[in-house]
Amino acid sequence: MATGYRPEIVQRAFVDFIGSRLHPFRSLTTPKLRLVARYELSDDLIALRFETNRAFRQQTNGAKSGWQGGQYIDLRVLIDGIYHQRSYSLVGLANRPLWWHDAIVDSAPIKSKRHTVTIAIKAQGMVSRYLTKHLPIGATINTSVPRGHFTLAQSLMTAQREASNREHSDKDNFQKNTLLFIAGGSGITPMLGLITQALNNQHQVVLLHYNRTELASFTQQWQQLHAAYPNSFRYHLINTEDQNSYLSGSRHLTTDSLLSLNLPWADTQIFACGSQALLVGLYQAATDITLPQGRYLRDSITIENFGSALADISFDRHQTGDKAINVQEHTIYLRARQRQFSSDTTLLAAAERENIRLAYGCRQGVCQLCRCNKVSGVVKNIQTGRLSGDGYEPIQTCINIAMTDVVLDI
């Protein structure tokens, strides 16, 4: 009997379309979430708990762990007839109930706690206000599967790449490294999964959280983790309105604040998430800490940027007084489109100057809609000043400039 291509008589997309009209939560191909509970973590931080549909679980379970700590999801929310997409960090890890779940009274039944995801957000901005204040319990929204580079695995790749450039380096040394987590305000949300994962992997972990008020719900979790890992986990909660909680007498993150932690900086990786002011302060403080073999602490920083304003500081290690970033013109090649253009500004702006349309959203490095994969070449993040490697990795075109010729998988 002859074999070969067999046309699909009933298209899955058609089945999905009909099924969504009968039951909006069900889909063969589209990941969806259904809101089942809200929980107030503080006066302005609200946790939203969602049940996941079968498509979400099937596409997410391709990874053994479901997803990694520090990843985010893109929610596609319909407001007044218009779809809006925003990115939100996941709280915790897959298949692990969060400590506050027992206190939540669900308005909709859940077959299993393993099939839920949780985000924690402030009611700021149109979409976040709608999710925290107006989205009905039981409502269904479309989502992406978990994604993002703010993970232990990504930092391991960076550490190994840097180690390969040094003589007599142990590429596996990251497995023993101390990990410093620095968060500002709601930037604490992706840290729980990261910290839990790091402690499970036997890292030494230190947390700094800068906030105007104390988040009692999170404080309870840090206390529990410290009790479970007394020799591996310590934390400092800096209430910016309480001088007794300051490090080195400052409400801001400074070089003295970092040095007061007495960490082995040559073997420390830093994860940071918060406002642009916090990230700028961190990079300025890290610049003053020198490491052996001509290394810089700032190169050991991995960030998840929730800020919106561009940093108005120099990222040249040797010319801190000059705020300008001198950029030479380089060639950008879009591999899939077989197009190329010259760039002396951000990749997105340079493409638009040549009438080449690229995906974008906020244009400020927040929403992730412009994220693409760089095949080769070096780019520089204009918000953090960090140089990429010269190989394959995800970047955002709205906040990166080319330092060499660059090939994008677009």
| pLDDT of 161 | 61
**Residue 65 sits in a domain of what CATH number?**
2.40.30.10
**Mean pLDDT for each consecutive 10-residue tract of the chain (410 residues)?**
54 59 75 92 88 89 73 91 88 78 46 73 89 94 89 75 55 70 91 92 94 80 91 93 89 92 92 85 87 82 59 36 57 91 90 89 76 92 82 90 93
Domain count within the chain:
3
Examine the domain organization and report whether 127 and 210 are in the same domain.
no
Examine the domain organization and report whether 170 and 276 are in the same domain.
yes
Q: What are the C-alpha distances in Å from 288 to residues 48, 297, 318, 325, 329?
A: 40, 8, 11, 20, 30
Whether 316 maps to a domain, the answer reads no
Examine the domain organization and report whether 177 and 300 are in the same domain.
yes
- pTM equals 0.72
Q: Which of 143, 176, 194 is the last residue of a domain?
A: 143
Q: How many residues does the chain have?
A: 410
Q: At what angle do helices 152-164 and 191-200 cross, to 10 degrees?
A: 60
Examine the domain organization and report whether 114 and 160 are in the same domain.
no
| pLDDT of 168 | 47
| pLDDT of 387 | 85
Whether 320 maps to a domain, the answer reads no
Whether 65 maps to a domain, the answer reads yes
**Beta partners for residue 90, in sequence order:** 119
Examine the domain organization and report whether 178 and 198 are in the same domain.
yes
| pLDDT of 312 | 36
Examine the domain organization and report whether 69 and 95 are in the same domain.
yes
| pLDDT of 2 | 54
Examine the domain organization and report whether 83 and 165 are in the same domain.
no
**Residue 402 sits in a domain of what CATH number?**
3.10.20.30
Buried/exposed code over 92-130 (b: 16+ C-beta within 10 A; e: otherwise)? bbbeeebebbeeeeeeeebeeeebbbbbbbbeeeebbeb
Whether 399 maps to a domain, the answer reads yes
| pLDDT of 302 | 86
Whether 114 maps to a domain, the answer reads yes
Examine the domain organization and report whether 162 and 229 are in the same domain.
yes
Full strand arrangement of the beta sheet holding 72-79: 82-89, 72-79, 140-143, 32-40, 45-52, 116-122
Examine the domain organization and report whether 29 and 103 are in the same domain.
yes
Quote the CA–CA distance of 145 and 55 in Å, as a whole number. 9
Whether 360 maps to a domain, the answer reads yes
Examine the domain organization and report whether 160 and 285 are in the same domain.
yes
Examine the domain organization and report whether 203 and 136 are in the same domain.
no
| pLDDT of 29 | 82
Q: Which of 81, 108, 143 is the last residue of a domain?
A: 143
Examine the domain organization and report whether 185 and 270 are in the same domain.
yes
| pLDDT of 104 | 45
Taken in order 263, 269, 274, 280, the sign of the CA dihedral is positive
| pLDDT of 356 | 92
Whether 324 maps to a domain, the answer reads no
Alpha helices in 61-213 (DSSP H): 126-129, 152-164, 191-200
Q: How many CA atoms lie within 13 A of 205 on its CB side?
A: 26
Whether 317 maps to a domain, the answer reads no
Strands 406-408 and 330-334: parallel
- Domain ranges, residue 71: 12-143
